[in-house]
Amino acid sequence: MSLEASTPSLKNPHDKPASGAKSSSKIVPKPTTKIDGNASANAAAASFAALTEKLDYLDKTDIESVRQAYRFADEAHLGQLRKNGEPYITHPIAVAAQCATWKLDAQALMAALLHDAMEDCGITKADLIERFGSPVAELVDGLTKLEKLQFDTREENQAESFRKMLLAMARDVRVILIKLADRSHNMRTLSDMPRSKWGRISSETLDIYAPIAHRLGLNQTYRELQDLAFQHLQPWRYEVLSKAISKARNRRRDLIEAVQASVETSFSTIKMETQIYGREKTLYSIYRKMDEKHLSFAQVTDIYGFRVVVPTALDCYTALGLMHQLYKPVPGKFKDYIAIPKINGYQSLHSTLVGPAGVNVEFQIRTQAMDVVAESGVAAHWLYKTNVQDAQLADRMGSKWLQSLLDIHDETRDAAEFWDHVKIDLFPDAVYVFTPKNKIMSMPRGATMVDFAYAIHSNVGDHAIGAKVNGNQVPLRTELKNGDIIEIIASPSSNPNPGWLGFVKTGRARSKIRHYLKTMAQTESIDLGEKLLTQAIRAEGFQQLPADSQNDTVIWDKLLRFSGNRDKAELMSDVALGKRVASIVAKRLAQLLTGSGEKLDALLITKERFFSTEPLSQGAITLDGSENASVKFATCCRPIPGDAILGYLGRGEGLTIHIAQCPVVKRLQHKDAERFIVVEWSDEPVRSFEVGVIATVANGKGVLAKVAETLANSESDISHVDMGSEYAQDATDLRFVISVRDRTHLDLVLKNLRRTASVLTAERMLPSGTNVLLS
């Protein structure tokens, strides 16, 4: 990322992110060196003594359980060192200490102390269950990477490990709290690691762990991880910004003190109990603002701010009025997150005011409960049990997002695809919309009507056909805007459209659509595979496939061993997709049937092999347009009912239908003649089919409108129109893709076009050299 355009002073030719080395993703590998046993024991004891001072919220039994976990971990890590030379046990103790500041329970603290035991020390899950119980073992297992399994790439390993961690987090949020504490301590000590690893670890922190912390409302951890990652990714720029902020802090100290004094005086006049804290933008947030808005450091005016903590929510609004009396508010810089909380549960009033000397100062006004939630997010469940309703807090703290992880996992078996869905939801810059019943819903910025439909319920999304915004009908791809009232129009006969994947924003919607399409495609492929194999077995002299009865199980088992498929459904799907050639499978099946005593029909063989090109062949696949994903109609020739057609079974592509005389068919028949199968049209197709039409018109005013009107009056829908890129001439070609029922309907459309004023000629578009035969 270059800052040349905005901050020349931050450009350094020697400031390169550290390159990622190809190594284990474990930040601290197991050292082989040892130190003096007494020194190690003393250092570890000192660290654990500091931890026990933070455990005053636990009872004696829990503290003893934590102490036992420490002794077990200390023994397991004996002789291991961190890169800075300290005993390795100091790291688990530091992680547990961070968890103790969130006041996590004893089980979480024990898991924090043991979190590297399974990964680095050969301790098994069974060992932990026996010693500390199943809950602690499950927490540790959720934190353990999948090092024992074999993966083709490091990225695949990482994706699968993240999936395991996120699913464990969805079931027990303590997993991610321990993991974030682990990552925080590793980032604080990253300078001790080889510089070659800085880039990979910092990028991973910035792209994954910081967004997860933010998504769960752990803002203090979020800001720290961002700054530490920035410090190691861009060390020179970090240093330059640090010095600039230090100088600005010294220059503006008097101004900030004056603002704080005047605010404290104002609150004392109304005798409101308040706590006022000065705050400063983090280095990374300043850097990102400079980069995104192309600003110099001098142009960033809202570096400083104040947090005002008051007793009640009503006092927040009173304090806001007082602030606006004291300093003038900047227009458009007020946000009410109390009335409408952020997705991660954050609540506060934000207002930017013009302070002394024209310096902008942001004020955040909130209650004590809101302040705890704002800084600690899901950890507030443990920190603030007495004054925060757990049910409301859990709902605001992202439990819906955690549950959505489980939903996405149920529909996505591929780890990389699962991770793609999750990453979408990690950056939820929210918009707030209303249902027709005035229920408010928060959605990621850029989300569409389809995302909203799936957020309501998967059935609503699956059957959506339209939407209304504030009573006005809009397309489903329309983006949501703050304050809109959204109504989804659904139809029981409607199904998800593959085109939706091109514009949906949320991971939930994307996974639901893909799951439906995969399930539907598999079902259709199995049906098509059975038809193709039935057609092929008839050519071998057998009327139909063996039944699924117990007597024929042996035949199917032998056939599956021959084909290498797990079950009959997979075999049929492979036949439909062209991964298995139906005729080869049928020959093997015929051998098995003959070997079991079945007699073939010689007359059927003769009929199928020598008369299979007849349109009424009993073995032909019949098409009526309801085939959806299992059958594709070639766009090179665009066949319609009435055309003579052939089916081509491409390798892994499914069945593609061409006009019999299509040049592509002639070319493929030289290479893969055995992959062509007999297909025929149904007597009653259930839908219309697309076909290309070219109309040459005398150029003039309103010609396109006249042609479009003729097509509409002929009961034909326009799917696409192309006028070419040439400048307008006396005669212009208009190319349309229209929908027709069959050849008869197409003839009517062309006849009407030729009668239209200004239309010189109208013909069907076909590849050159194609002679269309009637079916």
Count the alpha carbons within 13 Å of 627 in the hemisphere toward its beta carbon. 25
CB atoms within 10 A of CB 404: 20
Say how many Å lie between the first and final Cα of the chain, rounded: 61
Cβ distance 643 to 659 under 8 Å?
yes
Cβ distance 702 to 687 under 8 Å?
no
> 154-171 and 400-411 helices cross at what angle (nearest 10)?
130
Contacts of 55 (CB under 8 A, 6+ apart): 62, 63, 66, 100, 109
Query: In Å, what is the CA distance from 490 to each residue of 421, 447, 542?
Result: 25, 19, 46
CB-neighbour burial class of residue 385 (10 A; exposed 0-12, middle 13-18, buried 19+): exposed
Scan for tokens 């009335």, then name that residue: 339
Q: Cα 16–17–21 angle (5° rounding)?
A: 125
Query: Which has the closest alpha carbon to 350: 367, 363, 339?
Result: 363
Which segments of 475-517 are extended strands (E)? 486-490
Residues designated as active site? 119-120
Q: Could you tell me if residue 732 is left (phi over 0), alpha (psi between -120 and 50 degrees) or otherwise beta?
A: beta
Helix or strand holding residue 731 (H, E): strand 731-740
Query: In Å, what is the CA distance from 132 to each residue of 65, 107, 136, 197, 395?
Result: 8, 9, 6, 35, 31
- 427 token code pair: 């950056």
Alpha helices of 650-739 — where are they, by DSSP H? 663-671, 703-713
CB atoms within 10 A of CB 214: 23
Query: Which has the closest alpha carbon to 711: 759, 749, 757?
Result: 749
Query: Which has the closest alpha carbon to 621: 582, 666, 571, 565?
Result: 582
Query: Which has the closest alpha carbon to 160: 173, 144, 176, 174?
Result: 144
